[in-house]
Amino acid sequence: MPDQQPSATAVALTLVDELAAQGVTDVVVSPGSRSAPLSLAVAAHEGLRMHVRVDERSAAFLALGLARGAGRPTALVCSSGTATANYHPAVMEADAAGVGVIVLTADRPPELRDIGANQTATQQHLYGGAVRWFHEVSAGGDRPGAYLRSVVARAMALAAGGVAPAGPVHLNVPLREPLLDDTATALPGHPGGSTVAASPSARSGPASRMGDAGPDRAGPRPAGSAGTGAATWLPAPVEVLAGRRGLVIAGEGAVGGDDVLDVAAALGWPVLAEPTSGLRHRDPAIRTGHWLAASEAFVGGHRPEVVVQLGRPVLSRPVGAIVAGCEQVVVCDPLDRGWDPQRNARLVLPVAFAEWAAPAVDGAERVEGWLDAWRDADDRAGAVLDRLLDEGTDPTELGLVRDLARALPDDSVLTVASSLAIRHLNETMPVRNGLRVVGNRGVSGIDGFVSTAVGVALAHDGPAVALAGDLSMVHDMTGLVIGPDEPVPALPIVVINNDGGGIFDLLPYGSGVAPATFRRLFATPHGVPLGGLAITTGAGYLGLDEMADLPGALDDAWANPGITIVEVTTDTPTETARYHRIREAIAAELG
């Protein structure tokens, strides 16, 4: 590289300044040496909120949660070597879920690679196809400032999405020594230095030395801004939808809101909406879709002729069976993500459902009684569910999840772990307004849950709560390790502790396997005392003994700064038996 290449500090200041200019507000930093110029540049910028985490995996999921909560890309900074690999699980989730994260990995310069230099690894294309774009940053050429700013502008555009799905972007940043030079007097902590606000409106000091005019800064595109104009080749909606017995089935990543519910109501169709779809908030959304779909008698008399799939519904096997058994499945997705879990879609339309279907609504023929039959069955199934969950005062898994979804005030956000917790929410959550549900449903891992929930809560302006099983909690214990200088939300984490993976008792793995082997391989008991974990990490702790104590426990947790673990102890065999009892009772009711 030429001798006139800008210093590591100047490169870092320019990259970070342009992140802020492009609309990034939060940056998560993983401590390290090679990334020192980037980290110090973040700390110096008054327009950025910095978060520091020791564990890179937790740091990456924190960034993911911040991006989910705020609806805009966040940035990640780490040093070279194994630190970069620990970001990979969150990058995979961001890719599959369509969440914008800009990953900046510091690296050794090319001349130190492949010669045994310390802490040097192959970081080029580290995340494979999980990123929207990989670019190795250099700073050569006649206008290095303009180049660096254009790189960040492109990264932000791809991370924010629009015409294509949002997602992660990887910028690998080789930095030569000296990592801090004379321009470092602008960075905090440097001897004789002072903090400089390298804002986009008033760049000064070393930032101005690379302030060559870059691209116009339109900022990130708002969510849902993708062009959704119906193509002329799309089939006429009235021919596909009108006069048919149909269902709208929505999962994570569904595009649309009240407009979808309006069209479905006009067509006379029920909506089976998973909690993270954002559509279970008013009629014609159905609360007990999982239980109705599990009733052979009900499905036998109410099989749809058309299913419109929005997003990726995967939480309920009985609902999935309805989709698999329908001959006319229409997938509507303006981002064209290819989501067809049952592999039987007859029409895959790159357009928002409400926009395409609107012409079929006015004066469209409806199947009389179709929606009313689903509403009636929903009411009856819901009454059975609530009656059985209201037996006794001891906390139960399904009852606790239902009561939590009921108790949260308007403008709340609920971050739910994968595995059994999100399924229980899908099985019990009432149809209600004012509650946003977030979960890592891209690749549905339990890793990074605590950190994701903290990020969502930090980005949310209102009450926040998290719901997890004990394995999700234990898997991300380092998410509770938050330094005294870091922003921390008032966040109750409600943990259902059955000492292992209770979901496996509901899956077909136990037949023919010795109980001890089954428990060791699948339930994986851990024996971690959550109260002790709270003491070790400085979190609060509350044990919940009765269902009626839940609202008070939430209020106490919100009143205290920081994270509070609210533990509910349950027994998997008892809960599994209760689940099957509810399923059988609802089926008998619908007979």
- Residue 500's pLDDT is what? 74
DSSP string spanning 296-339?
Answer: HHHHHH---SEEEEESB--S-HHHHHHHHT-S-EEEE-TT----
Task: Tell me what the mean pLDDT of segment 449-475 comes to.
Answer: 96
pLDDT at 202 over 60: no
- Residue 230's pLDDT is what? 42
- What is the rounded CA–CA span in Å between residue 190 and residue 187? 6
- What is the rounded CA–CA span in Å between residue 283 and residue 258? 10
> Which range has the worst mean pLDDT, 253-262, 504-513, 561-570?
504-513
> Which range has the worst mean pLDDT, 94-103, 190-199, 567-576?
190-199
- Residue 284's pLDDT is what? 97
Task: Tell me what the mean pLDDT of segment 121-129 comes to.
Answer: 93
pLDDT at 10 over 90: yes
Residues composing the chain = 591
Q: Where are the alpha helices (DSSP H) in 479-549?
A: 515-518, 530-537
At 337, give phi and psi (nearest 5°).
Answer: -90, 0
- Residue 569's pLDDT is what? 94
DSSP assignment, residue 182? G
Summary mean pLDDT of the chain? 88
Whether 423 contacts 315, CB under 8 Å: yes
Look-up of token digits 């050429």: 141
Query: What counts of helices (H) and strands (E) characterise the chain?
Result: 22, 17
pLDDT at 492 over 90: yes
List of residues 6+ apart from 116 with CB closer than 8 A: none
Task: Tell me what the mean pLDDT of segment 141-167 comes to.
Answer: 91
Q: Give the closest residue to 136 by CA, choosing from 160, 96, 172, 167.
A: 172
- What is the rounded CA–CA span in Å between residue 304 and residue 301? 9
Domains of the chain listed by start with CATH number: 8-195 (3.40.50.970), 237-375 (3.40.50.1220), 390-590 (3.40.50.970)
Q: How far is CA 287 from the centre of its chain?
A: 22
pLDDT tens-place string over residues 363-408? 777 889 999 999 999 999 999 999 999 998 889 999 999 999 999 9
- What is the rounded CA–CA span in Å between residue 542 and residue 553? 7
pLDDT tens-place string over residues 407-444? 999 999 999 999 899 999 999 999 999 999 999 999 88
pLDDT-based confidence at 167, cuts 50/70/90? Answer: very high
Q: Give the closest residue to 469 by CA, choosing from 508, 523, 432, 536.
A: 523
pLDDT tens-place string over residues 299-336? 999 999 999 999 999 999 999 999 999 999 999 999 88
Q: How far is CA 213 from the centre of its chain?
A: 35
- What is the rounded CA–CA span in Å between residue 530 and residue 76? 29
Overall pTM > 0.85: yes
Task: Tell me what the mean pLDDT of segment 450-457 comes to.
Answer: 98
Helices 56-70 and 88-97: crossing angle in degrees, nearest 10, is 20
pLDDT-based confidence at 19, cuts 50/70/90? Answer: very high
Whether 48 contacts 20, CB under 8 Å: yes
Other CB atoms within a 10 A radius of the CB of residue 4 amount to 10
Report residue 75 as tokens.
Answer: 């940035």
pLDDT at 86 over 60: yes
Task: Tell me what the mean pLDDT of segment 95-106 comes to.
Answer: 97
